[in-house]
Amino acid sequence: MTAIADDDPATVPDEPRTAVPDVHHTAVSDVQNEERPAQRNPVDPGELDVPVIVLSHRAPVAFRDEGGRRRARRGAGGLVTALVGLAGQLHDTVWVCAASTEEDVAVAREHKGSAIYVTMTGEPKLVDPETTGALQIRLVEVDRAAHEDFYGVISNPMLWFVQHGLYDLAHSPNFGQRERDAFEHGYVSVNETFADAVSHEVEERGGRALVMLHDYHFYLVADLVRQRCPDVVLSHFVHIPWPGPDAWRILPPDMRERLLFGLLGNDVVAFHTERFARNFLLCAQELLGLSINLDKMTVQIGKRTVTARTYPISIDVDALVETAGSKAVRNRLDDLEQWLVAADARLIVRVDRTDPSKNIVRGFLAFEKLLDDHPELVGKIRFLAFLQPSRLDVPEYAEYIGQIGSVVARVNARYTRHGEAPIDLRLHEDFPTAVAAYAICDVVLVNSIADGMNLVAKEAVSVSRRDAVLALSENTGAHEELGAFAVTLYPFDIQQQADGLYEALTMPAIRRRELRQAAADIVRANDVGKWLAFQLADLTEITGLWS
């Protein structure tokens, strides 16, 4: 492959910090606020001798009827990886989640709603409770109509759009009776169903358990569980951005207040970044009139103190490195390399769900601008986009896929040379090829409008073999950790993103190496094990866990 202006001094940015910070100890707020309690020593989950109940909407396994045979597949996403790791280490744990497929419902019914046991190594399998390493899962069947309102009207369009700043406010939202009914009979009612299931698991363990709730689907659960099980210790991890009070004013007051009071049923509300945690406390102050302490990061509700905390989620670096070395990835890597060498081209990669919050259309517009501004790059750059279709039942998501298709067709029509289109759009999940692309690409593009964390950024720097430059939106949680070692992108500025891509593509090799190595060191130092261990440490310390 031909290096493009590898030693052009005009593109050399400021020197990076050479010391690799451990974000758990040098978070911005710890530096700014001497009074802030220091993070505790991590707690090894294996040493935690209390029952733990985990709740997430998506299950770690999904059952399907494949040609008359029941098959279990591992659930998608980083959360499943992180929580399977946690659950595997704890002594007594049950994972409560939704029965999402018809076969899940059949399994739940066969077990009369009580927990099932599954092994997660290789293809997941239903096993006996005594099986070593079995994960206890309680699949909760939810009324179909209530679930549609909960998931398809409130959680995904409404809460997701408020929290990612996606509403085009001159035109939407238009809340009416449909949305109010969906909130009442969907979101509230499904939260009650899951609060019942969680409370039941707590009661089965004598009323004392650590309950770890996850995501925007379940903001009302903590308060309901606390009312029924007053001795419980509760934490809720919010995996998506938490915006400031003005963004929440989009929702009618009764709705936003119920969501906030629901979350304040927890002992700890956890986020990926300091900014989100602070925004949460400001919401409690401005929207509920509660007293907050930004030094201690707490809010007072009656006699209870609720703490907001920050734990950046991460990846299992060793597992990813192993995947990167697997035969499947190596085969795809060879194919990709041949294709690039033949074209004598450089490679930009993005890996995302087709979610409007990922800013995919503007990413392609920025790529088009890059080619407009630098004709010498035409025919010398490939943009490989792995986009997994997502939530197509939500009209905005379906429309967004259409927009993606149009912009790609236009850019490819303008810039195809010798039969080679610059953008290769792959609308399906193909993790091995995505990992091969991480390994071999020159630039990884992450230009999200808003993102709680973004694990693609962490995955790419961990397995890159060509010192890929991370072109990273300032609005991702990952930017708090990795921004100093990336080319920062401003997600609404097409020209700046085009310039950022150019800077990344023309960065001198030595600089690329420094940045990539520093970013990879941070990811390794703060991997997913730490994410869990620090949460357990804080929960033990803050609540005393009944000691």
Which positions lie near ligand G6P, rule CB under 6 A?
57-58, 77, 79, 215, 239-240, 452
To the nearest whole angstrom, how small is the minimum distance from the Cβ of residue 260 to ligand G6P?
19
Across 284-322, b (16+ Cβ under 10 Å) vs e yields: beebbebebebeebbbebeeeebbbbbbbbbbbbeebee
Block residue for tokens 């039969």: 419
Of 42 and 152, nearer to ligand G6P (C-beta) is: 152
To the nearest whole angstrom, how small is the minimum distance from the Cβ of residue 477 to ligand G6P?
10
To the nearest whole angstrom, how small is the minimum distance from the Cβ of residue 101 to ligand G6P?
12
To the nearest whole angstrom, how small is the minimum distance from the Cβ of residue 310 to ligand G6P?
16
Across 215-241, b (16+ Cβ under 10 Å) vs e yields: bbbbbbbbbbbbeebeebbbbbbbbbb
Distance between CA atoms of residues 314 and 84, nearest Å: 14
To the nearest whole angstrom, how small is the minimum distance from the Cβ of residue 19 to ligand G6P?
30
Distance between CA atoms of residues 317 and 308, nearest Å: 27
Of 155 and 506, nearer to ligand G6P (C-beta) is: 155
Residue number of the CB closest to ligand G6P reads: 239
The Cα-based distances of 520 to 27, 319, 456, 492, 515 in angstroms read 18, 14, 12, 27, 9
* Residues in Cβ contact with 259 at an 8 Å cutoff, skipping those fewer than 6 apart: 159, 219, 220, 251
To the nearest whole angstrom, how small is the minimum distance from the Cβ of residue 390 to ligand G6P?
6
Of 77 and 113, nearer to ligand G6P (C-beta) is: 77
To the nearest whole angstrom, how small is the minimum distance from the Cβ of residue 77 to ligand G6P?
6
Q: Residues, the chain, total?
A: 547
* Residues in Cβ contact with 373 at an 8 Å cutoff, skipping those fewer than 6 apart: 498, 502
Q: What is the CA radius of gyration of the chain?
A: 24
To the nearest whole angstrom, how small is the minimum distance from the Cβ of residue 225 to ligand G6P?
20
Side chain identity at 269, as an amino acid letter?
V
To the nearest whole angstrom, how small is the minimum distance from the Cβ of residue 425 to ligand G6P?
21
Number of neighbours of residue 187 by Cβ within 10 angstroms: 26
Of 87 and 518, nearer to ligand G6P (C-beta) is: 87
Of 271 and 415, nearer to ligand G6P (C-beta) is: 271
* Residues in Cβ contact with 87 at an 8 Å cutoff, skipping those fewer than 6 apart: 52, 54, 60, 93, 95, 135, 136
Beta carbons of 262 and 223 less than 8 angstroms apart: yes
Of 213 and 408, nearer to ligand G6P (C-beta) is: 213
Of 100 and 540, nearer to ligand G6P (C-beta) is: 100
Of 58 and 208, nearer to ligand G6P (C-beta) is: 58
Of 77 and 379, nearer to ligand G6P (C-beta) is: 77
Of 50 and 220, nearer to ligand G6P (C-beta) is: 220
Q: Which one-letter DSSP state was computed for residue 468?
A: P
To the nearest whole angstrom, how small is the minimum distance from the Cβ of residue 535 to ligand G6P?
15
Beta carbons of 181 and 25 less than 8 angstroms apart: no
The Cα-based distances of 378 to 174, 253, 442, 445, 540 in angstroms read 44, 52, 16, 18, 57
To the nearest whole angstrom, how small is the minimum distance from the Cβ of residue 17 to ligand G6P?
28
Q: How many CA atoms lie within 13 A of 184 on its CB side?
A: 7
For the chain, count helices (H), then strands (E). 22, 19
Of 58 and 200, nearer to ligand G6P (C-beta) is: 58
Of 57 and 256, nearer to ligand G6P (C-beta) is: 57
Please provide the distance, in angstroms rounded to a whole number, between the alpha carbons at the two ends of the chain: 62
To the nearest whole angstrom, how small is the minimum distance from the Cβ of residue 531 to ligand G6P?
13
Block residue for tokens 């990811």: 523
Block residue for tokens 């060498």: 341
